[in-house]
Amino acid sequence: MTETEVVPAKLTALLEAFDGITDTEERMSMLASYAGKYREVPPAIAVRPYPEEARVPFCESEAFVWALPAPGGTLTLHFAVENPSGVSAKALAAILEKTLSGAKAGEIAAVSPDIVTRLFRQNISMGKGMGLMGIVQRVRDLARLTLRGKSTP
């Protein structure tokens, strides 16, 4: 499997929905709604203090990501966002969990960190944008490890 695989349909549909939102307040409201849907990693997967190998580098919200292999070569994603003010990170985590969990590892590996720009536009700082892109990159890296047959943290 390669990066030329199709991005999962659920993510494509969500991105297209966001592309149609031109009003900044409406976009922020939609993202806040997703942040409210954020679900913390279940204790059966990980407990505090979370392992450093699951940490997203350079993320101001102290995000952690786990990808568990599931039947059919798919992955189930779990997230922890330790910063209580990390609304953007929680929104992105909820979006990724909703649209990528259950997708094939190859499809997840093909997702570009540029989706952060499509979702948040210019409404975030450079530092926050880099952290959010780091979350997407961490998800991609875990999918690639799975494709190589290596265990993920």
Tens place of pLDDT per residue across the chain (153 aa):
344 457 899 999 999 999 999 999 999 999 999 999 999 999 999 999 999 999 999 999 999 999 999 999 999 999 999 999 999 999 999 999 999 999 999 999 999 999 999 999 988 899 999 999 999 999 999 999 999 987 666
Distance (Å, rounded) from C-alpha 53 to C-alpha 80?
A: 13
Is the distance from CB of 37 to CB of 98 less than 8 angstroms?
yes
- Which of 37, 142, 147, 143 lies closest to 98 in space, CA to CA? 37
From the candidate CATH numbers 1.10.10.10, 1.10.260.40, 3.90.1010.10, 3.10.310.10, the one assigned to the domain spanning 9-41+52-147: 3.90.1010.10
pTM score above 0.85: yes
Task: Please report, for the chain, the start and end positions of each structural domain, with discontinuous segments joined by +.
Answer: 9-41+52-147
Per DSSP, helices labelled H in the chain are 9-19, 24-36, 87-100, 105-109, 115-120, 126-147
Residue 57: cis peptide before it, omega within 30 degrees of 0: no
Residue with tokens 């990528």: 100
